[in-house]
Amino acid sequence: MDDKAPPDNTVVPLHGPIETIRREVDGIDTTLLSLIAERLQLADKLAAAKAPQAGLPIRPGREVALLRRLVASAPAPLERELIVEIWRALIGASLRRQRVIDVAVGGNPKDFKLFDHARRHFGARARIDFAGEMPVDALRRAADNPQSWVAVTPWPAAPNVGAWWPALTESRYNKLHLIAALPVLREGEEGPRAAVFAASAPEEAGDDVTLLIAFDPHHRIQRALNDQGLTGKEVARAEPRVLVRVEGFLGVDDPRASAMTRSGLDSVRVLGSYARI
């Protein structure tokens, strides 16, 4: 009988409970890979079945509805943060197979959270480019390339970023709409930290919030909201412009917005809507 110890490069098989669990994990990983591949194949079929479209393939309302359903039905011990992280990556991968979406980030280059929000929302392979130190630099990139670029900016009227949002009244940005607030997952009572603007129509998801911008030299915004039966409030002002948060979904052509001019406002524009989880 040879009692010599095996060479250092010899693998000694283990058959304890730890190795059994590891083999089960390996099996689940293999199954997950197959399921993810199957999901992407179905996404390809869905894209092929759709009528050809010139715009971005982003469906913000459907994305939020999907994440809400998954978070609500997830069994323990799944954390909602993990669910959102995984499925945002899957959504980004599916979108990328339909069209490459480039992401322009505008803002303080030292604001690493801004870039992190963009990466987490659009996926690990998203092409993210620093457009400039001003949020309007990102808006300009998206406005000039509406078929392939989106803009990620600091949240309008957020503290310490300057009042850049009045630029949204310029005609060159009329085709850009607010379609998402980041992070999508609420963190307590904290408000959004970043905004996504794109040449894509906002979608209703339920529990939506709409942002309006208008010229309000006589401070009649609250009266205008009341006259249209809307619940909202002024969130920022740069005379004579006012930025307004409205509870609920308003489409970009909602007649209630244009009717607010009868209450003394001018150039009322629906910037877009967003929903969070």
pLDDT tens digits, 222-249: 999 999 999 999 999 998 999 999 999 9
> What would the pLDDT profile of 25-56 be if each residue is shown by its tens digit?
999 999 999 999 999 999 888 888 876 666 78
pLDDT-derived band at 159 (thresholds 50, 70, 90) equals confident
Q: How far is it, in rounded angstroms, from Cα 112 to Cα 114?
A: 5
Pair 208, 249: CB distance under 8 Å? yes
Using pLDDT thresholds of 50, 70 and 90, give the confidence band for residue 7: low
Task: Indicate whether 226 belongs to any domain.
Answer: yes
Cβ-contact 109, 154 below 8 angstroms? no
CATH number, position 220:
3.30.70
Q: Is residue 140 part of a domain?
A: no
Q: Is residue 250 part of a domain?
A: yes
Return the HEC string of the chain: CCCCCCCCCCCCCCCCHHHHHHHHHHHHHHHHHHHHHHHHHHHHHHHHHCCCCCCCCCCHHHHHHHHHHHHHHCCCCCCHHHHHHHHHHHHHHHHHHHCCCEEEEECCCCCHHHHHHHHHHHCCCCEEEEEECCHHHHHHHHHHCCCCEEEEEECCCCCCCCCCHHHHHCHHHCCCEEEEEECCCCCCCCCCCEEEEECCCCCCCCCCEEEEEEECCCCCHHHHHHHCCCCEEEEEEECCEEEEEEECCCCCCCHHHHHHHHHCCEEEEEEEEECCC
* 253 in any annotated domain: yes
Average pLDDT score over residue span 174-190: 91
Residue type, 84: V
Show Cβ contacts of residue 173 under 8 Å, excluding neighbours closer than 6 positions. Answer: 139, 143, 167, 197
Specify whether the CB–CB gap between 144 and 175 falls below 8 A: no
According to the model, what pLDDT value does residue 13 have? 58
Least confident of 3-7, 72-76, 270-274: 3-7
For residue 15, what pLDDT band results from cuts at 50, 70 and 90? Answer: confident
Nearest CA to 180 out of 36, 67, 38 is that of 67
* pLDDT (average), residues 189-202: 92
This prediction's pTM:
0.90
Q: How many domains does the chain have?
A: 1
The answer to whether residue 236 sits within a structural domain is yes
Mean pLDDT of 49-69: 87
pLDDT tens readout for residues 105-153: 999 998 899 999 999 999 988 999 999 999 999 999 999 999 999 999 9
Where in the sequence is the domain holding 259, given as residue range(s)?
204-277
Q: Give a yes or no: residue 118 inside a domain.
A: no
Give domain status of residue 208, yes or no: yes
Return the percentage of the chain with pLDDT > 70, whole number. 93
State residue 6's pLDDT score: 53
Q: Is residue 222 part of a domain?
A: yes
